[in-house]
Structure 1
Amino acid sequence: MKNQDILDDYLFWDRKDRQILNLFWFGFILYTASYTISTTDTVNYNLSQFIQIIGILIFIPTGIHLMSYTIRNRYLKVLYILYLFWLLIIVIRGVEFNFESIKFALFDAWFGVFLYLVPLFLLLPKKLICYKRLFDVIIILGVIYVIYDIVYIKELMRAGQNLQSQAIVEYFSKTLATPCLFLILTYKYHSFQRKVFAIGILVLTVIFAVIRARRGLLIMEVLPLALVYLLYLSSTSGKFLIILMSIFLGGLVMFGMEFYNASQDDLFGNLMDRGLEDTRSNVETCFYLDMSAKDWLIGRGMMGEYFCPDIDPDSVTSYRRTIETDYLQIILKGGIISLFLFLMITIPAIYKGLFNSNNLLSKAAAMWIVWVLLIMYPSTVHTFTMQYILLWLAVGICYSKTIRNIPEQILVEYFKGHKDPIEKSTDFRNQIH
């Protein structure tokens, strides 16, 4: 593809489409922020759901307008169509036309119907302005996270293993804070202030994960540091930076050793007490016992449940809709077929992004997919949240040969520039001629 084609396909976008893109993300932010605060059980549910409805009415029509239905990679096209078709079957099998089920489907951002629409984010235009706006949205979610933490600081710092406090930490962190890890992975494209902000969000999330003894969350937040280190090693020729990162990671190891030595301390006591505690075996055993061969193959649909008594003390039933291991969660809803199609799409994307690319954007996208596949055992990623949306945007980046081949310097100049996108694209035109 010629340089001019790159410019036309991946940079230029008219003002109307950019405004629609902004509206789309505004609707998503409304929906996400309202859902997140509703999980605290301290706000008016009717008001929260009203705001979510506004968000839905904004991001659905604008999303439909933005979608591009052209997939150039034939392998991806075939598997992606099959995967969407299978997700549709999962949703249809789970449809229940009653008030409570409809409310759950529309307003539960983690496990409702919008979860199954997230793969459609692959169809968003692969324009550089889209990724620039994506970075802005991640920052906004991070700001909302800080605001919510300030408002609910007493609840977050409550002593002991308070279930509500633990739930707030999980919902706040995974819905609003975790996407900032993608800014750390794409460090070259951000200002110093944004990088400091993203690292600050990471540190804050780690602190709350330690206080509330959320082991899965702690792994989620710390693991990307190792992935960033690998990106540094692959992209930098400077020895100083490598030494600096090695010292930093070495410090983390020493810090972990201090966790062990400080196991009697009030701050780390809960974490150390739960460090080797097995909280999954009973749930997984219940899951294995309740699933038939047919269930393993095709799952039980969007509303699928499994029998697991004496696990949730506040539950009025012994059936659970979720299991904390994401691989098993996918099988519960869509069976091994769903998991197989998902892996057949994502694994080749990793290879393309890491080994067939010329820029950090593609490599960071591949690393994000690696991160998701690694943490799908200790945590839940398949939710209608930015962390799962980023996965499908990353898949789109990794399968795009043109984006993978854009020179690094052009991306750095574009993303770190402060000019209007149209004006900046004119500079880009001058560069490539």
Structure 2
Amino acid sequence: MIVIKKISLIKQQFFFLTLLSVLNVLALLYDNAKIMLYYGSLLSSILLIGVSAFEMFRYRNNNSALRKNILYIFLAIWTLYMSLKGFEFSYDYIRSITLSPYVLFPYLLMFFTRFFRIEDFQDVLKCIHVVNIFYLATMILTLIVDSHMLVMTGYIEDSIKYLCFPNFFLFLSFSKLTKKQKIVSVIVFVVGFLIAVMAARRSLVWIFSWTFMLFIFINYLNKSASKLKKLMLIIMTLVMGFGAIIVYNLFFETLFGELAERLDADSRGAVLRDFNKDMDTMSWIIGRGISGEYNLYETDYIFGIDDELSDTRNIVEAGYLNLILKGGYVYIIPFGLIILIALRNGIFKSKNYYLKVCSGFLILYVVETIPAGVLMFNIRFFLVWYCIAMCWNKKIVNATDQEIERHLV
């Protein structure tokens, strides 16, 4: 008799997340098939939501401490308001909010918290290991098809955000990895970092440096070492991390100083000034909805591989400002409090390794929201909500490593 083993929900979710991530990256590489690949990514997103919704009632009592909290309930209601604000029942509008990974779907990730379990931690690591292999394969394919793409800002940022950022979770979990997972994780980290340096993406170098520092803190400061050794390790890690950023900035300014000055003047700085100029008081408070836009005054085009003329823009590269554009302070305050409570539980209340990893991953998101960190529908932000759910679960907060490991799949 043949027994068919049911695939766990987390593996199914990662399958569709990985598929949509790969398709989005390939869409930048194969311009002729771009539309087809984007629609394939959209189909993967819909199937992900559908598969998860089918299991909704089986997980109805999961992570109830978070889902029944007033902050979460308010955030869910406000997310619904943001989604409906300015809604148009037209093909063009629906297409615009569903094809983009920045508009509708990323705000729905909060509703996935009911599906997250600490028992799936090992499966999460295995799935990210597969994503790492896809990232390396994609980079090799890029070298073969069009190596010039490796210096294109849009391609570098999207490939790292979709397929390399999930490795940060794996990298922080280093002590729980197999030998093969460790080797691949280190290779992906080094490759991603070098590509970010060569492409002169300072925000990416910044987050890679923070990841390395947190990796040291989580995996080595918990060991039975003397206080002096721990202090020396902290100082050395901070010097290495921030030293790398300072050296990189000096290197960047020396080689690309004029270019950097022009880019800052023409792009990010101008966009932020346009954003601040166009936002009125009510927009700062309640936002403009998921499809909200702001007028461009100093700039007249959208930056990326396919620059196009435009009078308006629906995204701000600074993550916290993009949240304000969509939902205002009314959204960002409860969302920030939910993350802060998760960090308090994971760092100060819990002593287990697993929540230290989750806390570290959340710190990376918080750190990145100032220069970048725009909410996207991808594996990275799926993991952000996974980490939030784990850090809000009282049983996990109070559990030891041994107690958790007895329940791991």
Coarse TM-score class (shorter-chain normalised): 0.7 to 0.9
Deviation string, structure 1 residues 64-103 (Cα, Å, up to 9, x no partner): 1334233432796221111011011111114233333222
Aligned to 1:290: 278
Aligned partners of 1:349 and 1:398 also within 8 Å: yes
Give the superposed CA RMSD: 3.1
CA distances 1:26-48 after superposition (whole Å, capped 9, x unpaired): 22222222122213352413431
Distance in 2, Cα, partners of 1:402 & 1:393: 15
Q: CA deviation at 1:332?
A: 0.5
Equivalent residue for 1:113? 104
Query: What is the distance in 1 between the residues matched to 2:324 and 2:392?
Result: 26
1:83 pairs with 2:75 = yes
User: Do the aligned residues in 2 keep the contact of 1:38 with 1:48 (CA within 8 Å)?
Assistant: yes
Using the TM superposition, give the Cα deviation of residue 152 of structure 1 relative to its aligned residue in structure 2, in angstroms: 1.4
The equivalent residue for 1:370 is 363
Aligned 1:193-342 pairs, distance under 5 A = 193-232=180-219, 234-238=221-225, 250=239, 259=248, 269-270=255-256, 274=260, 277=264, 279-309=267-297, 310=299, 312=301, 314-342=307-335
Establish whether residue 25 from structure 1 lines up as the match of residue 5 from structure 2: no
Residues 348/173 of structure 1: CA separation in 2 closer, same or farther (3 Å cut): same
Contact 1:260 1:272 in 2 (8 A): no
Tell me the CA shift for residue 25 of structure 1: 2.5
Answer yes or no: is the 8 Å Cα contact 2:319–2:370 preserved in 1: yes
Residue number in structure 2 paired with 1:158: 148
AA aligned opposite 2:79:
L
Give the TM-score normalised by the residue count of structure 1: 0.81
Quick one: structure 1 residues 55 and 291, their matched pair in 2 at CA, closer, same or farther if it must change by over 3 Å? same
1:69 aligns with 2:82: no
| Structure 1 residue identity aligned to 2:397 | R
Aligned to 1:4: none
Q: Does 1:343 align with 2:332?
A: no
Q: Deviations over 1:300-350 (max 9, x none)?
A: 111111112425363322211111111110010111100011012111110
Whole-angstrom CA distance in 2 between matches of 1:195 and 1:286: 44
Amino acid at match of 2:255: G
Q: 1-side partners of 2:258 and 2:214: how far apart?
A: 25
Structure 1 portions without partners, runs of 5+: 1-14, 416-420, 422-433
Gap change, CA 1:370 and 1:271, over 3 Å in 2: farther
The answer to whether the Cα contact below 8 Å between 1:35 and 1:107 also exists between their aligned partners in 2 is: no
The amino acid that maps onto 1:402 is K
1:261 and 1:366 mapped to 2: Cα distance?
31
- The SS at the match of 1:44 is helix
Task: Give, in whole Å, the separation in 2 of the partners of 1:209 and 1:271.
Answer: 17
Structure 2 counterpart of 1:135: 125
Deviation at 1:413, TM superposition (A): 7.2
Deviates more, 1:100-109 or 1:76-85: 100-109
CA contact (8 A) 2:346 2:391 kept: yes
Distance 1:63 1:141 in 2: 20
Counterpart-to-counterpart distance in 1, 2:46 and 2:18: 12
Q: 1:54 to 1:149 in 2, by over 3 A?
A: same
Alignment check: 8 A CA contact 1:141 1:176 kept: yes
Q: Quick check: 1:283–1:311 contact (8 Å CA) kept in 2? A: no
Letter in 1 for 2:271: V
Alignment check: 8 A CA contact 1:21 1:62 kept? no
- SS of the counterpart of 2:309? coil
Answer whether contact 1:138 1:179 (CA < 8 A) is retained.
Answer: yes
Cα-to-partner distance string for 1:192-215 (whole Å, 9 max, x where unaligned): 221221121111111111111111
Between 1 and 2, higher relative CO (CA 8 Å, sep ≥ 6) is seen in 2
- 5 Å-filtered alignment, 1:400-419, equals 400-411=393-404
| Whole-angstrom CA distance in 1 between matches of 2:252 and 2:159 | 26
Name the residue aligned to 2:171.
Answer: 184
Question: What letter corresponds to residue 191 of structure 1 in structure 2?
Answer: T
Instruction: Give the letter for the 1:151 counterpart.
Output: L
Moved more, 48-57 or 321-330: 48-57
The number of equivalent residue pairs is: 394
Cα deviation for residue 403 of structure 1 reads 1.5
176-185 vs 54-63, which moves further: 54-63
Tell me the distance in 2 between the aligned counterparts of 1:277 and 1:132: 42
Distance change (3 Å), C-alpha of 1:334 and 1:135: same
**CA 1:105 to 1:216, structure 2 compared with 1: closer, same or farther past 3 Å?**
same
The SS at the match of 1:378 is coil
CA 1:358 to 1:142, structure 2 compared with 1: closer, same or farther past 3 Å?
Answer: same
TM-score, normalising length from structure 2?
0.86
1:386 aligns with 2:405: no
Match of 2:161 in 1: 174
Gaps of 5+ in 2: none
**Amino acid of the structure 2 residue aligned with 1:103:** R
Change (3 A) 1:359 1:302: same
What's the counterpart of residue 55 of structure 1? 44
Indicate the larger mover: 197-206 or 147-156: 147-156
Contact in 2 for aligned 1:184/1:199 (Cα 8 Å): yes
Q: Which amino acid aligns with 2:11?
A: N
**1:37 pairs with 2:53:** no
Question: Is 1:149 the counterpart of 2:139 in the alignment?
Answer: yes
137 and 384 in structure 1: CA distance in 2 versus 1, 3 angstrom threshold: same
